[in-house]
Structure 1
Amino acid sequence: MSAALTLQGAQVLWPEGPEVRDLTIADGRVTDAPTGRGVDLSGYMILPGIVDIHGDGFERHLAPRRGAMKDVDQGLIATEAELAANGITTATLAQFYSWEGGMRGPEFAEKVFAGLATIRPQVDTDLLVQLRFEIPMLNDYAAVEEMIARHAIPYVVFNDHLPHEELSKGKRPPRLTGQALRIGRNPEKHLAFMQDLHARMPEVEPALDALSARLIAAGVRLGSHDEATAAARARNRARGIHIAEFPETLAAAEAARAGGDSIIMGAPNLVRGGSHKGNASALEMAAMGLIDALASDYHYPSLKRAAFLLADGGVCDLAAAWRLISLGPARILGLEDRGELRPGLRADLTVIDPASRRIMATMAGGRISYMNGAVAARFMGL
């Protein structure tokens, strides 16, 4: 049960801009009337809780070493603790359904979804899920559709990570042997499996058309990953796929913007100053107004860092930068009850030391999910 509190003296990022004004919380929501116990947070900032729209950083908690994938539940609880410590109040865990096997295979996806159902009542962070489906897996279309329905998965992103260039030339893809051995598969059988998938690519387009139509009819939100061309974005838009996740080129991003699609880029790309794969720069795209939301991708701390980097660099003010990690992703996900601090919405917030930019406390739905140091002492009245 969440407490009734009035957070006093902090600079709060309201929808209309930052202002030192009391923030009141009751019954898990922001209210417009003073209530409950007062907590002095003068000298700190209060910002909307971060909404992570795509992240696979949870994998390192589920398998810190090769083969150590026994206790998914405890790994997910550890993930939630890291999310909260980074100001994240809603997290979308991006789980693969891939020919790559191992942690990216369908069997492991089942374990993750079952684990999430078990631990959700034990944690405060809202843990959502995204299924990343590898579209060359034609024999699995029925199975993945059944999995999506059974686990009520609200968000599916289509991927294609097959090394088509090497396979089309009859070459052995790089790192194939290590990849096969890591998942316990004979390298030659793994290569033959990939070759079979590649050979059937002409069948994928019509199959994907039909699958997309059925998922949309079932109310599933659809996205596409790593589009490189405007034509690829147009094809996916025609299928009803209106989320462009990590477009690889400016041409693909500009096509998404022209078509009214939502554009997501990785916060680590922006923080490091460019893509580690040589794709389009998130910083350049942000300056051009081509980003609707930033995602943690593989590194949860990068979300907060990216927002402050944009503001410090003069690309936009902090309110606009923070929207890319709060209101922007919430709206893409269809979550109308969060993303900003406004009476009636969920009390999702993070308290930040403006000097160090350190997360001092996080509240999700009015419940404390993380707290440390001097802010903890103030809440305790010490």
Structure 2
Amino acid sequence: MIALSFDNARVLRPEGWDDQPLSMAGGRICADPQVRRVDLAGYDLLPGIVDAHGDGFERHMAPRRGALRERDAGMVAVAAELAANGITTAALAQFWSWEGGMRGPDFAAEVFAAVAAVAPTVPVDLRLQLRLETHFLDGFAAAEAAVARWGIGHVVFNDHLPHDRLAAGRTPPRLTGQALKSGRSPEAHLALMQGLHARAAEVPAALDALCARLAARGVTMGSHDDGSADTRALWRARGARVSEFPETREAALAARQAGDAVVLGAPNVVRGASHAGNVSALDLVAEGLCDALASDYHYPAPARAAWRCVELGILTEAQAWALVSEGPARLLGLTDRGRLEPGLRADLIVRDSTTRRIEATFAGGQLAFMSGAVAARFLS
């Protein structure tokens, strides 16, 4: 572990900015020790980003379909990209779905194995989130076994079946492309979806039982793309107290009123609108209906989204940064990070005060990333 004291930087504490020195030793933030001092005048120190949901790792694990199977090397690259964007804790959101391909159980098992192999060797805290398709009934037992085997502490439920089309006997959109990704013919892929849709009556009871078992394990559970207050209430009754990317204000408000955590997409904030036409994350943030901003599919987005909220006058810098640090740490049950306070993990980023470019990242007191002019401060 690195022992250092950082002087003359602006430090973002829970109550706001101050200019008091910040020290770390033994992997923790600590009271000022007698250690080497680094002058960081012109730089900001902020808590490391906690990413509650991101699948940007996929392009490193499978850059071209079927071309590479160097999963461990890909995960090392993921850790490096996370650190370069100030992310010190990352929940890697991996599907367990009937959709197959990169969303199927076989690929998921490779991702889980790569994280298990690489996580102990990199500073960034790599964690797993399993995204389970609600109608993949035949995959529930194996998914539950994977949660136990790999120590997965976060399960989120999705439903990507086009029920309206299937109920009307119509061909779902983009069928051919999705079938190719799954390795199936369009006819076989359609037949699979029709079969899953036909068993819809079995799903509620199966989910009730599965959620009860996961809750007994202490697994954090959430639902994805809640569209209404009623949907959120159903998941809450099962113990799924995280609402990821609610599609409507109604769903987000229902979550907040019931004390559930709300995760929104940082790319949505950066864009100023949902790419899928759902409720604007910026509007929900402005209403106070957000606990965490997640990278979703783009690791640079959380840091940029936090600043965007400040640029627009929606939040103070302390409030905005809490949505990418303290807020997501809390909903993941990680009480040892997310703030720059003595005794907590030394997860912090060094940002140029003028350009707002992240030039160094420390995770658990270890150097995870450094680039640019700040290196001279550490090397001199």
Query: Do the structures match in fold with TM over 0.5?
Result: yes
Alignment-derived partner of residue 74 in structure 1: 73
Q: Which amino acid aligns with 1:223?
A: G
Instruction: Determine whether 1:312 maps to 2:311.
Output: yes
SS at match of 1:224: strand
Mapping of residues 315-334 of structure 1, within 5 Å: 315-334=314-333
Partners of 1:33 and 1:39 in 2: CA distance: 13
Q: Which amino acid aligns with 2:345?
A: R
Alignment-derived partner of residue 288 in structure 2: 289
Alignment-derived partner of residue 165 in structure 2: 166
Partners of 2:181 and 2:326 in 1: CA distance: 39
Alignment-derived partner of residue 62 in structure 2: 63
Alignment-derived partner of residue 362 in structure 2: 363
Q: Which runs of 4+ in 1 moved over 6 A?
A: none
Contact 2:175–2:186 (8 Å) recurs in 1: yes
Compute the displacement of 1:69 (Å): 4.1
Compute the displacement of 1:268 (Å): 0.1
Mapping of residues 1-382 of structure 1, within 5 Å: 2-381=1-380
SS at match of 1:289: coil
Partners of 1:184 and 1:254 in 2: CA distance: 40
For each residue in 1:127-180, what CA deviation from the matched residue of structure 2 results, as whole angstroms up to 9, or x when unmatched?
011000001011121111111111111000000011111111111111111211
For each residue in 1:183-213, what CA deviation from the matched residue of structure 2 results, as whole angstroms up to 9, or x when unmatched?
3212111110000001111110111011100
For each residue in 1:261-299, what CA deviation from the matched residue of structure 2 results, as whole angstroms up to 9, or x when unmatched?
000000000100010000010000000000000000000
For each residue in 1:226-273, what CA deviation from the matched residue of structure 2 results, as whole angstroms up to 9, or x when unmatched?
010100001111111100000000000011011110000000001000
Q: Which amino acid aligns with 1:43?
A: G
Compute the displacement of 1:338 (Å): 0.2
Partners of 2:263 and 2:249 in 1: CA distance: 13
Aligned residues: 380
Contact 1:4–1:35 (8 Å) recurs in 2: no
Contact 1:26–1:35 (8 Å) recurs in 2: no
Contact 1:24–1:35 (8 Å) recurs in 2: no
For each residue in 1:334-360, what CA deviation from the matched residue of structure 2 results, as whole angstroms up to 9, or x when unmatched?
001000000000000001112111001
For normalisation by structure 2, the TM-score amounts to 0.99
For each residue in 1:35-84, what CA deviation from the matched residue of structure 2 results, as whole angstroms up to 9, or x when unmatched?
31000101100000000000000001111122234111111111111100
Partners of 1:97 and 1:116 in 2: CA distance: 16
Structure 2 residue ranges without an equivalent (≥5): none
SS at match of 1:114: helix
Structure 1 residue ranges without an equivalent (≥5): none
Partners of 1:162 and 1:350 in 2: CA distance: 41
SS at match of 1:95: strand
Contact 1:25–1:35 (8 Å) recurs in 2: no
Compute the displacement of 1:33 (Å): 2.3
Compute the displacement of 1:379 (Å): 0.3
For normalisation by structure 1, the TM-score amounts to 0.98
RMSD of equivalent CA atoms: 0.8
Contact 1:226–1:247 (8 Å) recurs in 2: yes
Q: Which amino acid aligns with 1:53?
A: A
Contact 2:38–2:378 (8 Å) recurs in 1: yes
